[in-house]
């Protein structure tokens, strides 16, 4: 059950997106997020959707993987769609039965909502988790935040903390599973009984887990000291990050997409037809 969480799931590959610089991908993700939240016109949404589709195709991640990633938000999707359709009360009335009235504006805003959520999830997960390993990602974050080091922000330490946290997610998950199994074997009941009883049963998981996290932290810090770790100053990197021509193309394309979304917000679908008609 716990293993269904897809946080930080990375699929090794050799696509153009896999090979792009992590800093590029982070900036692209920011542009995509900004675009999804500024889009309002129908045309903008079409562009947004097509751009996300391009990301998905270029990444060569299987459709099943992406759909699985969408599974956790399926409920939100259905829920919001349902309310958008039922409670919009403007535009043209398309369908009426008993108290249910469906208007065209409801359908349109529901469709926009769906596109917005799907693009948000798919673009960020394709860019930041499916095609970027957690370690490379933290390297990228460190690289982007580097200017802050000038004003004495401990960027390197933040990056280290982040990559360690990511690194220990699977380890702690495995341990959680073990602890749950062990406490179940001693008769702990996590799924029935009063709320208080269940909360108490959870304590039997949290305390050992906390103890083990602290144990790992102590062991790790000692191991790091033994191997001569002394912070970020003068440290070189195994993986040198390099902005290549393709990275600039990616960035420009994303910026263009963002600009197009903003400009086209003013125009609807009918304007497009008008354009061709003229």
Interface with another protein by CB under 8 A: which residues?
3, 175, 178-179, 181-189, 203-204, 207-208, 211-212
Give the C-alpha separation, 173 to 102, whole Å: 46
Closest distance of CB 207 from another protein, Å: 4
The structure tokens 């990301």 sit at: 55
Q: Which is nearer to another protein, 54 or 210 (CB)?
A: 210
Q: Which residue intervals of the chain are DSSP H helices?
A: 16-19, 22-38, 42-59, 63-70, 74-87, 104-124, 134-145, 155-185, 195-226, 245-264, 269-277
> Please, what is the minimum distance in Å from the beta carbon of residue 169 to another protein?
17
Least CB distance to another protein at residue 7 (A): 17
- In the bound state with another protein, the residue whose beta carbon lies nearer, of 133 and 204, is 204
Count of helix runs (H) and strand runs (E) in the chain = 11, 2
- Sign, Cα dihedral of 257, 263, 267, 273: negative
Q: How far is the CB of 246 from another protein (least distance, A)?
A: 29
User: Could you tell me which residues come within 8 angstroms of residue 149 by beta carbon, excluding any fewer than 6 positions away?
Assistant: 155, 156
Residue 126 CA neighbour count, 13 Å, CB half:
29
Tokens of 106: 């409801």
Nearest-angstrom CA–CA distance, 142 and 148: 10
CB of 122 to another protein, least distance (A): 21
The whole-angstrom separation of Cα 2 and Cα 230 is: 36
Which residue, 156 or 216, has its beta carbon nearer to another protein? 216
Going by the DSSP 8-state scheme, the letter that residue 154 receives in this structure is -
Given the complex with another protein, which of 24 and 131 has the nearer CB atom? 131
Shortest distance, position 179 Cβ to another protein, whole Å = 6
Residue 208 or 268 with smaller CB distance to another protein: 208
Our CB check for another protein shows the closer of 186 and 230 to be 186
To the nearest whole angstrom, how small is the minimum distance from the Cβ of residue 167 to another protein? 19
CA angle 173, 120, 10 (to 5 degrees): 40
- CB count in 10 Å sphere of residue 77: 16
Between residues 38 and 189, which has the closer beta carbon with respect to another protein?
189
């Amino acid at each position: 059950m716990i293993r269904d969480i897809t946080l930080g799931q990375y699929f090794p590959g050799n696509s153009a997106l896999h090979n792009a610089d992590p800093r590029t991908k982070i900036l692209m993700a920011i542009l995509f997020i900004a675009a999804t939240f500024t889009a309002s016109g129908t045309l903008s949404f079409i562009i947004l959707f097509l751009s996300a589709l391009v990301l998905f195709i270029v990444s060569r991640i299987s459709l099943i993987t992406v759909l699985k990633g969408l599974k956790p938000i399926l409920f939100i999707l259905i829920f919001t769609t349902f309310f958008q359709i039922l409670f919009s009360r403007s535009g043209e009335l398309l369908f009426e039965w008993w108290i249910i009235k469906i208007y065209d504006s409801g359908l349109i805003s529901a469709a926009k909502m769906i596109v917005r959520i799907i693009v948000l999830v798919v673009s960020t997960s394709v860019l930041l988790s499916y095609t970027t390993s957690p370690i490379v990602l933290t390297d990228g974050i460190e690289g982007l935040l580097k200017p802050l080091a000038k004003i004495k922000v401990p960027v390197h330490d933040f990056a280290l903390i982040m990559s360690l946290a990511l690194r220990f997610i699977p380890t702690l998950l495995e341990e959680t599973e073990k602890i749950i199994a062990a406490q179940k074997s001693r008769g702990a009941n996590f799924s029935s009984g009063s709320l208080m009883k269940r909360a108490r049963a959870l304590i039997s998981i949290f305390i050992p887990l906390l103890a083990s996290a602290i144990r790992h932290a102590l062991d790790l810090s000692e191991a790091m000291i033994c191997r001569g770790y002394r912070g970020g100053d003068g440290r070189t990197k195994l993986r040198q990050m390099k902005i290549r021509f393709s990275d600039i193309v990616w960035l420009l394309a994303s910026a263009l997409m963002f600009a197009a979304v903003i400009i086209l917000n003013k125009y609807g679908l009918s304007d497009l037809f008008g354009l061709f008609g003229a």
